[in-house]
Every structure is written in C-alpha cells, then in structure tokens.
Amino acid sequence: MIRKVLTEFSYVPAKLDRGYVNKTLYINVSDYKISEKPVTEMVKEKFIGGRGFGLWYLWNAVTPETKWDDSENEIIVSPGPVGGITQYPGAGKSLVVSLSPTTGTVVDSNVGGHFGPLLKFSGWDALEVQGKSEQDVVIFIDGNAGLVRIESLPELANDSHLLVEQLTDYYACNEEDKRSISIISAGSAADHTLIGMLNFSFYDSRRKAIRLKQAGRGGIGSVLRNKHIKAIVVKFAGVKGNLNNPADFNKIAKTGIKLHKEIKNGDDKQCQMRVRGTTYLVKIMNDYDLLPTYNFKYGSHSDGEKITAPHWVERFDLGKADGCWYGCTLSCCKVVGDFVLKTGPYQGQRVIMDAPEYETIAGVGSNCGIFDIDYIMECNFYCDTYGVDTISFGTLTAFLMECYENGILDQEKTGGLELKFGNGVAVLELLHQMSRGEGFGKIAGLGIRKCKEYFVKEYHADIDFLNDIGMEAKGMEYAEYVSKESLVQQGGFGLANKGPQHDEAWLIFMDMVNNQLPTFEDKAEALHYFPMFRTWLGLVGLCKLPWNDIVPEDNNRTAEPNKIPEHVQNYVDLFNAMTGRNIDIDEMLRQSERVYNFQRVFNLKMGFGTREHDSIPYRSVGPVTVEEYQSRQDRYDNQLVELLAYNPEGKSTADKLQVLRNYREGQYQKLIDAVYQRRGWTEQGIPKIETLQALGIDLPEVIAVVKKHLA
C-alpha cells in the first residue's frame, strides 16, 4: 500500500498509576502538530476521566462562536480510570466528546470495544484531535514503540467494513497481532450527512473477523470526516489484567468475581442477555405499548412478534465469546455470522456483522412500519459501514414517512422514493443515496430539525404540525421508546443535556414495566438521581448494562430496589480500589453532579441550555392526530374523567385532544419546575452559583458564563 508519513512524534510510554497515566495526547491535523499534556490533580479531582475529561478539554478548545465544522472543534476520546480492567464486566467503554453538527452544542457518546483501553495502555488518558487536514489522513499510535504518526494512505476504502480490514492487515505483524489493534472510522455517508457516527473496531480472534461497535449519537462521525481524518489507529500488544496498576487489585478481583457469579446464576432467569442480547426488549416494549411504530404514533403492533428475540436468536452465531472487552460475561453484543447482502454496492457479498441492538430494531424496523428481520439486518449493516447513526436514521426516516403520507412530500420531491410506511426498499435506497451524497438522501441527511426548516421554506409545510410530529429535541433525534404515558421518560428525554438519548435517563422500564415511580415526587427525584448516577459510569469507563440488566436475587427486598444498591456499592468499591481514594455513595454522586452541571454551563456558553431548549415535541407527550386518539380512545377518555373530571361524552375528538393536550403539557412544565428546583437551578434552568459552589465546580470561567445569564 502506498504510504507517505506526514509527521512523526516519539514518546516514552508511561506506566499507569492507580488508573491514570497522567498524560494526554494532543494532535492537530491542520499543521500536523503532536504534543503531550500533563493531567493535573485539579482535572482528575473535578472531572475524573472519560466524559468529564472530554468536556474539560473541549471547553478549553472552543469559543462561543465555534461551529462544529470549524477547525478548532475537537474530537476527544477518553476511557476513564477504571476502564480497561478485565475483572469486572463492561469495563471497555470509551467516551467521545465533540461539538455536534445537529445540535450545535457539546455532545457525548459512549462506545464499547478495545480502543479506549488500548489508548490508555499506550500511555494516554485521553486523545484530543483538533484542526482540519487538507487531505485524508490516518493517525497511527503505536503504544509499544512509543510512536505517533500522521500518514497519508490514498488507497484506502471509504466504508468501514473494508477500511478497518485494510488497516488491520496493514498494521498487524501477523494473525495474533490483529488483537492488538483497534481503529476509529466513519464511512461514506458521514461525508455527506450530519448524522454520521464513529465505528470502533476490535478483532474477534475466535471468529477471525473484525467487529465494529458504534459511538452513534450526535454526528461525531461527520466531524471526523469533516476534519479529513480517515481513521485513528491504536496498537498495543501485551494486555494483562493488572495494567491499570490499581491501589488494591484483590478488591477489584473480588468485586468482579461476585458479579460474574451473579450473572452465571441469574441471567438465565432474568434477561437472558447472554443468549438474546438487547433483543429481549422488543417483546416487553410491544406488550407494554412502548415500542415505537409509525413514527411514534403507537406503542405496539400485531406484527411486533416477528421481530422479537426468538427470531434473532435463530440467526445469532452463539457459543463464542460475545463481550466487546475482555472479561465481560454479560456478553450482550451478538453476531450474525453469514449474511448475504441484497442491495447496494456490496450486493451478493457474504458478511459477518454485529447484530442489531434493540434501538436499531425499533428505529429502522417497527418505527418505519417494517417487521422483517432480513431488512433490518441489511439496514443495520449499511448504516454501520456507511457511518450512519441507526437511531437518528430510523427516527428521521419514520418522520419523513409520516410527511409523505400527509402529502408534505411526494415522489416528485423525493426523486421517486415512495416513502410510505412499510416500504423497506425505499428506506434502503434512501440510505444508499446518503452514502453517494445525492438525491433526496442528501436533504434527509441534514436530520429532522433542518429538514423541518427546509420543508417549510421549500414546500410551505405547516411548521406547527412538523414540530408536533418531528421527534427531535435540541436537534437530536429521539431514542426508540414511546413516552406518551410516562411523564418521567418525557423528562428523561427533554432534560438530557445532549438531547433525547436514553443512556442519561432510561427510566421508562422502571416507570412503565416495574411501576417503581408511582408519584410525581418519585418522578422528579428520579430525574435527579438517575442522570447523575448514570453519568458517573461514563466518567470512569464502565458500561451501564451490568448495573441493571442483571440484579441480585434479594434486590427486591432492599429499601430502594430501583437503584440496585449492591451494584452501586460495587462501583464505589471499584473506584476506591483503583484510585486509592475513599469515597462513599454520596461523594460518587457529587462527582457526577459536578460534571453534569459543568455540561449544563457548557451548553450556556454555546448559546443553549435554558428552559426553551428543554422543550419536546408533543408526539412524545400525547396523541397528535385524531387517529392516534381514537386508537386508544378508552384510555384517553378515562384519563379525562379521572384526572380532569371532564366528561368526554358527546365531545368531538378534536375537543378531547385539545383538553388532554393542555393537561399533559401543563404536567410537563410542572415536572421541569420540580426537577430544576431539585437540581439547584433557576426557573430558567440555569445552575445557581451557590449550587456550583457547593459542588466545587465554581471555577472563574464557569461562574463568568453563569453570571451573564443571571443578570
């Protein structure tokens, strides 16, 4: 392969000390500058690692005027101090932070795989990439040799499944050495859309195949390609379980063994994650009227059974290790071993791929009215290799389909695509157009918020209707849960710092399935505690699934079973054993609350982050159309009687829709008031100075931003 080395940087790889290397790597692809930066005690104390490090370094890199495609925007990758251990399940997470093309403000996305741990073992707590190259480049980090290079490799493919194969073969010395390599890449659609995502590769030695995990949300893949970065490669050979050099290795091992036993004894009786992965959620969501169908109009469908777990399990290549990092016995990421593509540039080829997760199944499947697992797998494969976020693509496409069915779009406007619900052929062609950067795919690739603006300007569409049915908030497309009957999940989506992604406040299961949040006060408190707790996992490099997808047998007998207290204590123990510190659960939450409030202020710095930015589309709160209301008329009529003492008899559906809407929108505003108060924010959603002081995040530059909004 033709290669030109553009610059080279040598360093002495440092050993880790209690989870930290105490150095970060800075690379600017505009002038090919490479340098190292020390990690100060202040940064470790206040930002911990992972998402916290990413937010801090980005804060210092950008100004309020910086846009996502400006050269000063950065992509930061950091695994956190606990990340990389092999004793506890789910410890391979990387957190990625950047300015988002779709929201205009800071976004974080988490991803499994090997990159974060290998980066850390190579001598870096975080990687900062800034600038914009004039040509496509590859960044190569060799953690054993102590070498960083920026290279030009012009013969590389665009799409990830080919690109990572080429680069793994190129940088590996032999078959065994492929395990030492992990690659970040995007794909051809990330060149032409704003919903591009990042693939993180790892080599599956048992299947002798490269697999891809995704940092999906917020369009960071589009940022990577806008910088003309083809790939970032890290190579480190010699992974062992003690490389983090923890303060108390035995404590980590003991905590890990406890959870491994729990998974072994409990998983078959609980989620069966080891066999079904997250596909088990499809049936539950469909049964509880929470599975999005037809652009979130409804929560269930008679064909929902066709995409439930048993049909997926038949296609999974089971019996081999399915964890995305060493030591994860929960093993949620499943593989389809032999799939023949039916469309697109790779039609007829046999591929191995990571199977669709619940979010993808619901997004490109049921939400688009398509209940065909072969179509869903095809769509999943092409989204991944093209570098498109499956959640944004599914929610966006469902919105376009409803626009089509309401006459806002037609075949003339879509260039011949018949975007009716259920038309998988049209959906795949839309995706291929995004890859080629042509036709209606180029317009759709702007995301829902910008599509709404385009449709109003070009097609004179009704903006109020589009705002009601366009399932986005803050510019990010919704994750795949129908929240109409779950006030707390409405808040979980609307109040999330980055937009409606479920990783910050996935409360719908405990609210609608387990009925653990019955009162208004329970819901408001949950919207304080759980976003803080879940944020913490992203500070240290841990996956959220081992927290609540397996629970101790006696969990229901604890005082707060929804928090799974034993697992929370596990995390405190892991952190203390790694760092040598002595925090308790309260301090753990303060660590998280500190970073969470900092991110809120970061949004303020970028011109967002006040109450109006926490508004949500009415489709996520209640029925928008007459047909939606009438589909669940008994439920809604009963609510009018029981909650409002309103007699629906003899009233038109339009009248009842409006009365229900007034009530539900009022409830959402009351919830915002309660959550803001609980979080120590003003009525406009601005963190109070005394809140920031109490948390110890009252840095002068932070206070300066807040004071502008309090004046």
> Which residue type, as a one-letter code, is found at position 451?
C
pLDDT score recorded for residue 165: 97
Residue (of 309, 307, 277) closest to 293 by Cα position = 307
Tell me the average pLDDT across 621-647. 98
Mean pLDDT of the region 686-699: 98
Note the pLDDT tens digit of each residue in 68-94.
Answer: 999 999 999 999 999 999 999 999 999
Mean pLDDT of 699-706: 98
Start-to-end CA span in the chain (Å): 60
Question: At which residue do the structure tokens 């970065």 appear?
Answer: 229
pLDDT range class, residue 213, cuts 50, 70, 90: very high
Banded pLDDT at 505 (limits 50, 70, 90): confident
| 345 pLDDT tier (thresholds 50, 70, 90) | very high
- Confidence band for 212, pLDDT divided at 50, 70 and 90: very high
Question: pLDDT tier at 682 (50, 70, 90 boundaries)?
Answer: very high
Looking at residue 503, its pLDDT comes to 86
Distance of CA 558 to the CA centre of its chain: 30
Q: How many CA atoms lie within 13 A of 498 on its CB side?
A: 27
Q: Is 80 exceeded by the pLDDT of residue 321? A: no
pLDDT at residue 504 is higher than 90: no
On the 0-12 / 13-18 / 19+ scale of CB atoms within 10 A, 61 is middle
Q: What is the mean pLDDT of residues 252-260?
A: 97
Cβ-count burial of 311 within 10 angstroms (0-12 exposed, 13-18 middle, 19+ buried)? Answer: middle
Give CA–CA dist 193/477, Å, rounded.
Answer: 14
Average of per-residue pLDDT across 630-651: 97
3-state secondary structure at position 579 = helix
CA neighbor of 259 nearest in space, from 330, 349, 193, 307: 330
Is the pLDDT assigned to residue 438 strictly greater than 90? Answer: yes
**What percentage of the chain exceeds 90 in pLDDT?**
97
pTM of the entire predicted model: 0.97
What is the average pLDDT across 361-377? 98
The reported pLDDT for the residue numbered 502 is 87
Burial class (CB in 10 A: 0-12, 13-18, 19+), 146: middle
Q: pLDDT averaged over the chain?
A: 97
Beta bridge partners of 213: 200
- Residue 323: the pLDDT is 87
Q: What is the pLDDT of residue 383?
A: 98
Q: Residues 624-640: what's their mean pLDDT?
A: 98
**In the Cβ-directed half-sphere of 102, how many Cα atoms lie within 13 Å?**
37
- CA angle centred on 389, ends 388 and 395, rounded to 5°: 115
CB–CB of 654/671 below 8 Å?
A: no
Average pLDDT value for residue range 413-434: 98
How many whole angstroms separate alpha carbon 447 and alpha carbon 686?
A: 28
pLDDT tens string 560-580: 999 999 999 999 999 999 999
Measured CA to CA, the distance from residue 606 to residue 68 in angstroms comes to: 11
Beta carbons within 8 Å of 657's beta carbon, 6+ residues apart = 623, 626, 629
pLDDT tens digits for 97-122? 999 999 999 999 999 999 999 999 99
